C-alpha cells in the first residue's frame, strides 16, 4: 500500500511551523526564513554550493516516489488569496511539485494546470476524502502531505500519516501555527527516531509501526 509521507516539515523548539502574521511580504510571519535556513544550506536546495551532509540526505527524501501532494490553503497563498482570481501559488509558472497537487480550501476554484507536470486542484473535503482522491491520482506512488501545520496536525489526528519527518530548529517562536495542539501519545503508534545534525537542527522521524 502506498504511503502518506511528510518531509522536511520544520518546526521551532516550541512546535510552530510558521510565525505570524502570514502575509504576502512575510509568508512565515515573524519566523522569516529561520525555519528553513538549514535546508537552504544544503545541496538539495543549492546543488552547486550547498553542503552534502546529513541535512542534504534527509532533505532529498522529499522528492523520491511521490505521485501527488496535498497542502493547506495557507501554504498555497497568503491570507485572502481566494479573493484574487489571478493568484497561482508562490512558486511561479513551474512549481516544484511535478504531480497533481491538492489544495484544501473551503473556497475551491477550477484546476490550474502549470508547467512541469503540476496541476493544482482545489478541494473542500475531509482529510480522508481528500486522501482518497490523491491516492487515486498517485497510483502506485506515495502521497506527500506538504503542510502547513494545521493540515499536518489534522491528518495525524485522523491517523492518516505513515511517515512524518520533522526538523526541529533551535529557535523559540512563541506564536504562530503550532503542530502539536490536540495531539497526544504519538509514541504509541509510531517508532520515533532522532538524528542530531552538526548544523544544529534535529531530524525526527515518526514511522508507523507495522
Ligand X SMILES: NC(=O)c1ccc[n+]([C@@H]2O[C@H](COP(=O)([O-])OP(=O)(O)OC[C@H]3O[C@@H](n4cnc5c(N)ncnc54)[C@H](OP(=O)(O)O)[C@@H]3O)[C@@H](O)[C@H]2O)c1
Assess 5 for contact with ligand X (CB under 6 A): no
Q: Which of 107, 128, 181, 191 binds ligand X (CB under 6 A)?
A: 107
Spatial distance between the Cα atoms of 154 and 103, rounded to a whole number of angstroms: 14
Crossing angle for the helix pair 127-138 and 149-157, nearest 10 degrees?
A: 100
Question: Do 90 and 62 contact (CB within 8 A), yes or no?
Answer: no
Site string for ligand X, 45-84 (x = CB under 6 A): ---------------------------xxxx---------
> Under rule CB under 6 A, which residues in 177-196 are in contact with ligand X?
177
Establish if 147 lies at the interface with ligand X (CB under 6 A).
yes
Is residue 164 at the binding interface for ligand X, with CB under 6 A as the rule? no
Rounded-to-integer distance, Cα 72 and Cα 75, Å:
5
For the chain, how many residues are written? Answer: 210
Cell output for 139: 497510483
CB of 23 to ligand X, least distance (A): 9
Whose CA is closest to 150, among 2, 5, 11? 11
Phi, psi dihedral angles at 172 (to 5 degrees): -115, 120
Q: Is 109 in the site for ligand X (CB under 6 A)?
A: no
Q: In which order are the strands placed within the sheet that holds 190-196? A: 112-113, 119-123, 100-104, 66-72, 142-145, 4-12, 163-169, 202-208, 190-196
Q: Which of 32, 92, 96, 126 binds ligand X (CB under 6 A)?
A: 126
Chain positions 17 to 36 lying near ligand X, rule: CB under 6 A, are 17-18, 22, 27-28, 35
**How many CB atoms lie under 10 A from the CB of residue 161?**
25
Rounded to 5 degrees, what angle do the CA atoms 71, 76, 78 make?
Answer: 135
4 scored as a contact of ligand X (CB under 6 A): no
Can residue 101 be called a binding residue for ligand X (CB under 6 A)? no
Q: Min. distance of Cβ 65 from ligand X in angstroms?
A: 19
Q: Does 149 bind ligand X (CB under 6 A)?
A: yes
Q: Which residue is nearest to ligand X (CB)?
A: 148
User: Site for ligand X (CB under 6 A): how many residues?
Assistant: 28
> Between residues 105 and 190, which has the closer beta carbon with respect to ligand X?
105
Q: Does 97 bind ligand X (CB under 6 A)?
A: no
Residues that bind ligand X (CB under 6 A): 9-10, 17-18, 22, 27-28, 35, 72-75, 104-107, 124-127, 146-151, 154, 177
Amino acid at each position: 500500500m502506498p504511503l502518506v509521507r511528510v518531509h522536511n516539515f520544520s518546526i521551532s523548539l516550541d512546535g510552530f511551523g510558521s510565525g505570524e502574521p502570514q502575509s504576502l511580504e512575510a509568508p512565515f510571519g515573524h519566523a522569516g526564513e529561520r525555519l528553513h535556513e538549514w535546508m537552504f544550506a544544503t545541496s538539495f536546495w543549492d546543488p552547486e554550493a550547498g553542503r552534502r551532509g546529513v541535512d542534504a540526505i534527509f532533505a532529498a527524501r522529499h522528492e523520491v516516489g511521490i505521485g501527488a501532494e496535498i497542502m493547506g490553503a495557507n501554504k498555497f497563498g497568503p491570507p485572502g488569496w481566494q479573493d484574487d482570481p489571478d493568484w497561482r501559488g508562490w512558486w511561479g509558472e513551474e512549481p516544484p511539485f511535478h504531480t497533481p497537487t491538492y489544495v484544501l480550501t473551503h473556497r475551491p476554484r477550477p484546476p490550474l494546470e502549470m508547467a512541469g507536470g503540476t496541476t493544482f486542484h482545489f478541494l473542500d473535503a475531509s482529510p480522508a476524502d481528500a486522501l482518497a482522491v490523491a491516492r487515486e491520482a498517485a497510483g502506485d506512488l506515495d502521497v506527500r502531505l506538504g503542510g502547513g501545520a494545521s493540515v499536518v496536525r489534522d491528518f495525524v489526528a485522523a491517523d492518516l500519516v505513515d511517515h512524518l519527518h520533522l526538523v526541529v530548529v533551535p529557535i523559540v517562536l512563541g506564536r504562530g501555527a503550532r503542530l502539536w495542539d490536540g495531539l497526544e501519545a504519538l509514541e504509541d503508534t509510531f517508532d520515533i527516531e532522532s538524528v542530531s545534525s552538526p548544523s544544529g537542527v534535529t531530524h525526527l522521524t515518526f514511522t508507523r509501526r507495522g
